[in-house]
Structure 1
């Protein structure tokens, strides 16, 4: 049986949902599934390379955006194979998960991956998309821009990102510019910044806000099976502006 260390919370969940016996290590941020009993090897941005190498993994799972290249280079220099994902769209996520699980981990294609494809394929078209800004951080304010996985999911749910044509993927935009952008909705996920009903909506008076689950918006794994239903309900349950 192969030994796998995951540096990406969503990939930890994906492997555990398919064959949890493969996982021997995961980051401190890998919270799903609950109670996962593996060696914790630090954070996504500061993994303990020596501890990972000592686990003698056959494969380390990483993400181009979530993990730092020097850490991945150090793992490779230590003789540890590293599989790096680079996900910008739903199609890329589904294809990448299939390849990672079947080729990288040597597993059979899991039923949950078929369920995720079916869940997103069954969405009805949206006649009138709602124009929205999607902050992911404050102090400074940063929003979803172009070419992001979360933006692609929101587009499929009828949300038109105002900053989708911005040259940056996660541009920093001053709050006065956000307020003047003509948004009909502010979408506030609970990660990476933990927006709440008391921390976020108050900055956008007059604009309805929707608090959404960051795991269903940004993780690519088993959460994709419920994501269309969960996100659609949360987008509809908006606070008045």
Structure 2
């Protein structure tokens, strides 16, 4: 079987994929929810859902650096990567071991496309069709609950030292838009620009969002930012704002609660 991944690369696959290495946490969770737990041979140390998977599966490294020898020993039939999570150099080296499928997720539709591709690759079309329909429905129903009014402007922090924001053209930006939030970082900036906190006020956000990942922001960091910003600062669960695949289903329930916290600002 030949399938084009989301970088439009031809990936040549065998008919019976019994051993998978996944180097992307959200994709690992999707595989599990598609009933492929027994086929997952290797994962990263950041693949935390479901929790028990790390106890029973070979850890082959992180998302930026892996132990190629461990992956080689697993003799995988396919290796799953992501353009943003993994590096081009890694993919080139991994292709010497097994076929590599690379995802590229910027939009909600990209996530649906990946689910559809996995359905075809792993013979799970009956499950992925239902997943896709449920996700479309969940998104539509959530957006119907959003009240009319101006879109709040937000600055979404993902890192400290240096302070780094999620910009436009990212999956985070897509989910902000689904929540009727306007990202203060527009297309003329990089995807993940750094910022000096003293310049934060000039971006004029209505609210600052501090993500739980990849940097684990806590209450103490709110105090740090409040020295430079007088507006509302909110801690958010980064998994629901950046993970795609099956994590999107519970994300819409989380967004409903999140919107209640923001309702007083609109």
Task: Provide TM-score, normalisation by structure 1.
Answer: 0.92
Corresponding pairs, count: 238
1:76 counterpart = 2:95: yes
Residue 136 (structure 1) aligned with residue 154 (structure 2):
no
Residues 64-110 of structure 1, C-alpha deviation per residue, up to 9 Å, x if partnerless? 010112111111123x11000011111111112211x2222232342
Checking the alignment, whether the CA contact within 8 Å between 1:145 and 1:166 is kept in structure 2 is no
Q: Does 1:208 align with 2:227?
A: no
Residue 61 (structure 1) aligned with residue 80 (structure 2):
yes
Instruction: Classify the secondary structure of the residue corresponding to 1:200.
Output: helix
TM-superposed CA distance for 1:42, in Å, is 1.0
* Equivalent residues in 2 for 1:146-161, closer than 5 Å: 146-161=168-183
Q: How far off its partner does 1:201 sit?
A: 4.8
Residue 114 and residue 34 in structure 1: after superposition, are their counterparts in 2 closer, same or farther (change >3 A)? farther
Partner residue of 1:26?
Answer: 43
The whole-number CA distance in structure 1 between the counterparts of 2:219 and 2:74 is: 42
Greater CA deviation, 109-118 or 150-159?
Answer: 109-118
Q: Which residue number in structure 2 is paired with residue 6 of structure 1?
A: 22
What's the secondary structure of 2:203's corresponding residue?
A: coil
Answer whether contact 2:116 2:125 (CA < 8 A) is retained: no
Report the more deviating stretch, 101-110 or 153-162.
Answer: 101-110
C-alpha contact 1:185 1:209 (8 A) present in aligned 2: yes
The DSSP-based 3-state class of the residue aligned with 2:258 is helix
Look up the SS of the partner of 1:211 in the other structure: strand
Alignment partners' CA distance in 1, 2:238 and 2:231: 21
Aligned-partner Cα distance in 1 for 2:247–2:42: 21
Q: Pick which of 12-21 and 160-169 moved more.
A: 160-169
Task: Work out the CA distance in 1 between the residues paired with 2:259 and 2:211.
Answer: 11
Aligned to 2:11: none
Runs of 5+ unmatched residues, structure 2: 1-15
CA distance in 1 between counterparts of 2:168 and 2:23 reads: 25
When you count helix as a share of all residues, which structure comes out higher?
A: 2
Residue pair 1:13, 1:222 contacting (<8 A) in 2 also: yes
The answer to whether 1:94 aligns with 2:73 is no
Name the structure 1 match of 2:134: 115
Verify the 8 A CA contact 2:107 2:174 in the aligned structure 1: yes
Instruction: Determine helix, strand or coil for the equivalent of 1:186.
Output: strand
Unaligned runs of 5+ in 1: none
- State the Cα RMSD in Å: 1.9
Q: Aligned pair in 2 of structure 1 residues 129, 109: CA closer, same or farther (>3 Å)?
A: farther
Distance in 2, Cα, partners of 1:109 & 1:229: 24
Match of 2:8 in 1: none
Q: Select 1:50's aligned residue among 62, 69, 73.
A: 69
User: Is the alpha carbon distance of 1:201 and 1:217 closer, same or farther for their aligned partners in structure 2, counting shifts above 3 Å?
Assistant: farther
- How far residue 235 of structure 1 moved from its aligned partner, in angstroms, is 4.7
Whole-Å Cα distance in 1 between the matches of residues 223 and 250 of structure 2?
Answer: 25
**Take 2:174 and 2:199, find their aligned partners in 1: how far apart are those partners?**
23
Distance 1:203 1:63 in 2: 32
